[in-house]
Structure 1
Amino acid sequence: MDIHHLQLKAVQIRMDLLRMIHKAKSGHTGGSLSNTDIVTALYYRVMNIEPRRPKDPDRDRFIASKGHAVESLWCILADLGFFPKEELDTFGQFGTRLIGHPNNKVPGIEMNTGALGHGLAISVGMALAAKRDNKRYRVYCLMGDGEQAEGSVWEAAMAGAHYKLDNLIGIVDRNRLQISGTTENVMGLDPLDEKWAAFGWNVVTLEGNDMGALVEALEAAPAAPGKPTLILANTVKGKGISFAENVPHWHHHVPSAEELDRALVELSAERARLTKRGAEQHG
């Protein structure tokens, strides 16, 4: 899928996840909106996956360490056909498989996650297994920036560099907000790029809602053989919804009917703009 169609797909996923959260009356809205471009780039362009063979031993692995922001992932897996899209209507309902964190009873989910700080350690183990089994698959781990305050992240970071896991790509959704405020007020992280580099990782800093930049960086990994890669993706929490962007309480805010309508109008306008631009470029 080219950059233009990836951008259109990300708009669709944002619309889907907002409808899903509104119906469920529960969900982590802001972080799902900030990571949508990242997960879209991975699933529709970068990763080697096949929805009809979710347990293919040679598949790439994706671990959503910031498991609370699963809504974009549910929408993407459904859109790709890992499970029926109609099942999105059950999100957050009694007895559903689609709970508020990744659930490995759902095809396409590798591990149950959500206890922050665990995902990278799991990813290190998967990447090390690939090396020892002479497999070519890669492991992608999406972390939150608030999660960087967990000590287990840095234990895993040391191990990834020690074992020279250049088949491991960590991604930090650096939207600078968490449930209780800005990351720098809660637990200062900067200079985050220098910290990861000091732990032996190849660090790439980019605008995490820029689809072209994401694809370029993800497809270039590993840019430093013998080193794991860390993509520091500077994103906007609530991306795509003007009244939600960079607003802390949208971390777990459920849009009202009025807010949903306003958001869908904005996203529809963005879809129309992208469609027109695409027609002009290819006309």
Structure 2
Amino acid sequence: MDPKINPLLRPFSATDIRKAILDMAYSGGTVHIACAFSIVELLAVLYRKHLRVAADNPDHPERDYMVLSKGHGVMAQYACLHHLGWLPDADLRDYFKDGTRLKGLADAHVPGVEVTSGSLGHGLSVGVGLALAAQRRSTEQKCYALVGDGELNEGAVWEAALFAAQFCLDNLIVIIDKNGFQAMGSTDEVIALGDIAAKFAAFGFDVIEVDGHDEAAIDHGFRVLGARTDGRPKAMVARTVKGKGVSFMEHNNLWHYTRLSPEIYERAVGEVIAV
């Protein structure tokens, strides 16, 4: 079977993903909810409309690659893989429990997860390698690599960016989750990033900026970047809100590491499903 876009067993929305994230975090008694919420629309649009995969084979040799370098946001990806039919209900229900295969950071042993990440700064380098291999095989494969803005503090990210431009990897699309926070504070407080779009442009990338929660804008951005084959790697700088979808989590960096109580879980679910 050739890889196709959207070989879904069941349709899903951003609301479905956020509800699944809350269910996983509550069941597993774990953290990183707000980090996952900021990338929901980005992954939803990518999996529904752009990523070419084979429904019956997550390891199809001609698939597009989705590298989640921001590995602590993996609950959002797990929810998408669940809707692809690659992860059963039991996996999500047992998230982060003893014996589970779904851990709190991205793990390449899980079907559909390309890279073990969470030690930040390394995923993009792997994505660059995948894009280079596809280029050398003359396939039509694309590699999408999602990084956090705080992750851009890592020097390895910029080494990978230099390499991507040097080797004209126009099949590489880097998605930057620009939510303005990282674990220990705002990005401006920790290491100010300045103009991220201008930085990637200076490294030879074809760059666009989008509202990272506007699905139509994200879809258009992927279409525009995917159609350009001018030898430049691509970057989509997505302006997002950490904790998007639950009012008391939005822009509140305490929710990088805060766990859900039964009462807070019910309150959060109520906000998410009311959208």
TM-score, length of structure 1 as denominator length? 0.91
Provide structure 2 residue ranges, at least 5 long, that are not aligned to the other structure. none
In the alignment, what sits opposite 1:259?
A: 264
Provide the identity percentage: 38
Contact residue 44 and residue 80 of structure 2 kept, 8 A: yes
Contact residue 31 and residue 255 of structure 2 kept, 8 A: no
Aligned amino acid, residue 235 of structure 1: T
Give matches, 1:4-83, under 5 Å.
9-83=13-87
The structure 1 residue matched to 2:154, chosen from 125, 150, 154, is: 150
For 2:255 and 2:115, locate their aligned partners in 1 and report how far apart those are by CA, in whole Å: 26
For 1:67 and 1:197, locate their aligned partners in 2 and report how far apart those are by CA, in whole Å: 25
For 1:112 and 1:59, locate their aligned partners in 2 and report how far apart those are by CA, in whole Å: 18
Residue 206 of structure 2 corresponds to residue 202 of structure 1: yes
Q: CA deviation at 1:90?
A: 1.3
Contact residue 27 and residue 71 of structure 1 kept, 8 A: no
Q: CA deviation at 1:224?
A: 5.6
Residue 186 of structure 2 corresponds to residue 182 of structure 1: yes
Aligned amino acid, residue 230 of structure 1: A
> Which secondary structure state, in structure 2, belongs to the residue aligned with residue 112 of structure 1?
coil
Provide structure 1 residue ranges, at least 5 long, that are not aligned to the other structure. 271-283
For 1:27 and 1:137, locate their aligned partners in 2 and report how far apart those are by CA, in whole Å: 34
Aligned amino acid, residue 253 of structure 1: T
For 1:166 and 1:37, locate their aligned partners in 2 and report how far apart those are by CA, in whole Å: 23
TM-score, length of structure 2 as denominator length? 0.94
How many aligned residue pairs are there? 267
Residue 128 of structure 2 corresponds to residue 128 of structure 1: no
For 2:231 and 2:104, locate their aligned partners in 1 and report how far apart those are by CA, in whole Å: 36
For 1:269 and 1:83, locate their aligned partners in 2 and report how far apart those are by CA, in whole Å: 26
For 1:99 and 1:42, locate their aligned partners in 2 and report how far apart those are by CA, in whole Å: 23
> Which secondary structure state, in structure 1, belongs to the residue aligned with residue 52 of structure 2?
coil
For 2:177 and 2:49, locate their aligned partners in 1 and report how far apart those are by CA, in whole Å: 19
Residue 104 of structure 2 corresponds to residue 100 of structure 1: yes
What is the root-mean-square deviation of aligned Cα atoms in Å?
1.7
For 1:44 and 1:255, locate their aligned partners in 2 and report how far apart those are by CA, in whole Å: 29
Aligned amino acid, residue 252 of structure 2: V
Contact residue 168 and residue 229 of structure 1 kept, 8 A: yes
For 2:112 and 2:268, locate their aligned partners in 1 and report how far apart those are by CA, in whole Å: 29
